[in-house]
Structure 1
Amino acid sequence: VISNFTAAEEKALAEMIDRCVAGIETFVDAGIDDAVALVNVAGGDPP
């Protein structure tokens, strides 16, 4: 079922997108190891 995101989901999505962008920029600037260290944080993505 497709529905609008809740406020909490929108906030989580924005944070995930920001982390993805930071990971891509880090990959380009510093390489895969630094990008993986940045993106793969303890606890994973928010629920």
Structure 2
Amino acid sequence: MIDTMLATWALSLLLIGIVTSVFGIRRRNIDSIGNFRIVTIQSVPTHC
């Protein structure tokens, strides 16, 4: 019983770590894309 509980706990922690890392990477990419879009939108009218 204790062994299975420890195994499931370890697996859940591992899954949480993977999910958080993946979401962190995605969020960083989205932020950079968003900032790039904001910069381009701001720079386009001045050039025109």
Structure 1-normalised TM-score?
0.53
Could you tell me which residue of structure 1 aligns to residue 30 of structure 2? 16
The structure with more helix, counted as a fraction of residues: 2
- Between the two structures, name the one with larger relative contact order (CA 8 Å, sep ≥ 6): 1
Structure of larger gyration radius: 2
CA shift at 1:30, angstroms?
A: 1.2
Distance in 2 between residues matched to 1:30 and 1:8, nearest whole Å: 33
Identity of aligned residues (%): 11
Gaps of 5+ in 2: 1-18
Could you tell me which residue of structure 1 aligns to residue 12 of structure 2? none
Could you tell me which residue of structure 1 aligns to residue 6 of structure 2? none
Q: How many aligned positions are there?
A: 27
Superposed CA RMSD:
1.5
